[in-house]
Structure 1
C-alpha cells in the first residue's frame, strides 16, 4: 500500500484545514449536496483515508460500496493511466473501442446464468435502473413496474418514483413518473413469516390491483441497501422470480450495491440461485470511476431498436479500463472469499454485543455488507437519534461508518474487501465502544 494502513489522529475530526475548506464550500457548493463527514481527503489507499490535516481514518464505507478493491488499487490505477495516455474519449456511439467490448464480455461471463447475454454501459446506478425499465417496457409491451417497500433505486425522476423513502430523496420533487406500484418486502426482523408467505402476499396484491398481464417488470434489490440492509427471508426471491417467469414478467435485479463480491458471491442473487432476466450494476464495478451497466438476456436486449440506448459518456474508455482492472483484482485476490472472511469476523462480534442489549434490534447482512438496527429499548420503535450519535462518535474517533434505513436507524458497514485484518479489528472496536457508550 502507498499509505500506511493505520488509524492516525493528529487533530480533532474534522481538523482546521478541513474546516477551512468547508467554509469555502459553503460559498460555492449547493446546500442540497451534503456529506456524511466533512473531512477533506488528500490521499486514500486500501482501507484508509488520509485527510488534509494529516489524519488517517479507517474506511468502513468504501464510498458507499464503490472501492471494493480498495482505494488507489494498482490494478485500477495503472490501466487508467495507460488509457489516458492513448485517448480519453471518442463516444462509443461515434467511434467505438475494444475495452467497452471487453467489459461486456466480462459481464456476460460473471453475471448469473449461462444464457446468451448482452450489455449496455452507462454512468451511474440510477441511469442503469432507468434504462432497465425502458428495456423492460419496450421488450414486453407493458407499462407497469413493481417495486418493494424500503427500496432505493436512485434520484432521477423515474428512480425517485421507484424509491420508497420520501425524505430526503423525494419530498417536494414531484410529480413523479407513473405506472409504479409498491408491494410488501420480506423483512425478517420485523415480520416472522416465511419468504414464501410474504411473496404470496406480494403477488396476490399485484394480481388483484394490476393483473399480471399489465406488468413489464418486477425490480428488486436482492439485499436492500439504503432501505436498511434488509435481506429477505429464504424463499422470497425464488418465489418472486418464479411468478415472473410464469407470467411473462421480467425479473430485474438491482445489484448496484450488492454486486461485485460485496455479499460473498459475485452477485447476491447467487445465494439462492436466482437468475434475473436483467441485472443492473454500478458502484463496485470500476474501482471508483463512474460506470454502470444493464446486462440481460440477449433476446430482450436485442429487442431494442438502434440508437434507443446510450449516452455521451456511457462506457467511457477510462472507466472501462478501470473496470477491467478491478474485475481482474477481484478474481485474482478472490474477493468473494475476502468478503465472507470479513463477515466471519464482524457478525459474531456484533451479535455478541447485541446479546442482552435491547437497543440493538437486529444484526444482519451477508459477507461485507453488514447492518446493525437500533430501537428504543423495550420497544420496536426505530431510534435514529442514538444511531446518529453512534456514527458521530465513530467519526470523531477516525472511523468512517454510514447510516441507512427507512427510519435512519441502521449503522451500515461496507469496508473495502481488501482491508487489513488489524485495521478491520480496530475499526470494529471503535464501533463497539461507541455502541456501548450510547446504549448503556
Structure 2
C-alpha cells in the first residue's frame, strides 16, 4: 500500500494498532483535513473540533498566515542547529520577549522539553544565586499536575498511570495540594532549600481545575517572600486560551520563569520555550543546555506568525466572551440535568463533570455520541469531558455547538 493511497477508517486504525505503540486510547474517528474550527474524517464527514489538539490549535486548523510563513521559510532554510547563527532566531527571541515582557528566551520543541528546561534553570539558579548546597535543591509541585511524560516529570506525578513501572524516580520534588496556600507557605517556611514552585495556572489534564480567586497572586507573593522562583506552566493555558494572553494575567502575576508550547506555533510545528529575565536566565551558559532543533529557522518563522494571529485577531478577547457565553448556556442546562453536575473553566478552556464515577464509561460514551452528532471531545480522568475549541470560533458556531452538546446530553439523562 502506497503512503498516498486513500485509507478507510478501519484500515487507518488497523495500521496504528499493528505498527504503533499502544500508548493512546483514541476516539475512533480518523481525520484527514482541518480548517478553522472544523475537521473532516476520511469519509468526508465534518466535525467541530472541541479539543484543539489539547489547546495547540488555538488559531484554528491550517491558519493561512501561519501556513504561508511555514511554506515561505521552508523554501529557504529549515535547520542549522545552534552550532551556527541563523537569521531568524534572534528575530523570534526578540519578538517573543517583547510579546510577553521578558528579557531572555530559551527555545525548545515540545512542552515537556520546555518544562525540563525550566527545572534545570531553576535548580542552577538555586545553587548559583540563592546559595543552596549542591544537590540539595527542591522544587515544589502540585498534586494532580500534568507537566509532560519524561522520567523526571512523571517522578512528581501522583497519577498511577503515568508513574507505574517507570521507576526509579527522580528526587528533588515536594508535592503539595493545588490551590492550598497554607500548604505552600508551610513547606516554604520549613525548607530553606526550595528553589522554585512549579504550577499550572489552571490544571488542564486533571479536569480543568480553576484555583480560587487570588491564589496565583498570593502564591507569587509567598515565593517572593522566601526567595523562591515562581514557575508558570502555560503550555496549555497560555496564548489566549483562558481569555487573557496568559492565564496568570487574570491576576496580574509575572512569573519568574514562563513555560510556553502548543499554540506557540498554532499547532503547525513543534515549538516551545522557557522565558525569564536576565537575573534568572544568566545562569545558563554555553554547554549547559541545548537542542538540535530548538530555535530552528522554520520554528522561528512559524511561531512569529502564530503569535501575530493571536494578537491581530483579538483571540484572547474572543475566548473571554465566548467562554462566558458557553458556561452560561451549560449552567442553564445543568439546572434541570441529572447527568451533568458542574461546568467550570476560564475563557475557552472548560469542562463538564458527568454524574458518574471516575471508573465508569459514561463520559466516553457521551463523547462517542458527540462524535456521531458532529463534535469531537475527549474525557479526562474518567468522568470529566474537556471542551476547548479553537479561539477563532464565532458566536453562531459556539451556539450551534452548545445545541449539539445539550442535545447529546439529553439522550443520557436518567
TM-score (norm 1): 0.87
In structure 1, which of residues 238, 241, 246 is the aligned counterpart of residue 217 of structure 2?
A: 238
| Contact 1:338–1:417 under 8 Å retained in 2 | yes
How far is the alpha carbon of 1:35 from its aligned partner? 4.8
How far is the alpha carbon of 1:69 from its aligned partner? 0.7
Show the counterpart of 1:18: 9
What are the residue-to-residue correspondences of 1:257-268 with 2, within 5 Å? 257-268=236-247
- In 2, Cα distance between the equivalents of 1:268 and 1:241? 14
Show CA shifts across 1:383-405 (max 9, x none).
7432222112112222111222x
- In 2, Cα distance between the equivalents of 1:297 and 1:384? 46
Show the counterpart of 1:163: 157
The reply to whether residue 181 of structure 1 matches residue 181 of structure 2 is no
How far is the alpha carbon of 1:356 from its aligned partner? 3.5
What are the residue-to-residue correspondences of 1:38-437 with 2, within 5 Å? 38-91=28-81, 93-111=82-100, 114=101, 117-141=103-127, 142=132, 143-167=137-161, 169-186=162-179, 198-208=180-190, 211=191, 213-288=192-267, 289-376=269-356, 382=358, 384-404=360-380, 407-437=381-411
Deviates more, 1:296-305 or 1:384-393: 384-393
- In 2, Cα distance between the equivalents of 1:383 and 1:365? 23
- In 2, Cα distance between the equivalents of 1:199 and 1:139? 24
| Contact 2:339–2:409 under 8 Å retained in 1 | no
Structure 1 stretches of 5 or more lacking a match? 1-14, 187-197
How far is the alpha carbon of 1:358 from its aligned partner? 4.7
| Contact 2:202–2:247 under 8 Å retained in 1 | yes
Show CA shifts across 1:119-172 (max 9, x none).
0000111100011000000011142111112110000011112333222x2222
- In 1, Cα distance between the equivalents of 2:308 and 2:88? 14
Distance 1:400 1:319, change over 3 A: same
| Contact 1:218–1:251 under 8 Å retained in 2 | yes
SS in 2 for 1:295: strand
SS in 2 for 1:390: helix
TM-score (norm 2): 0.92
Q: How many residues align?
A: 400
| Contact 1:144–1:214 under 8 Å retained in 2 | yes
Show CA shifts across 1:67-106 (max 9, x none).
1111110110001111010011111x11222322222222
Deviates more, 1:390-399 or 1:354-363: 354-363
| Contact 1:84–1:318 under 8 Å retained in 2 | yes
- In 2, Cα distance between the equivalents of 1:16 and 1:398? 21
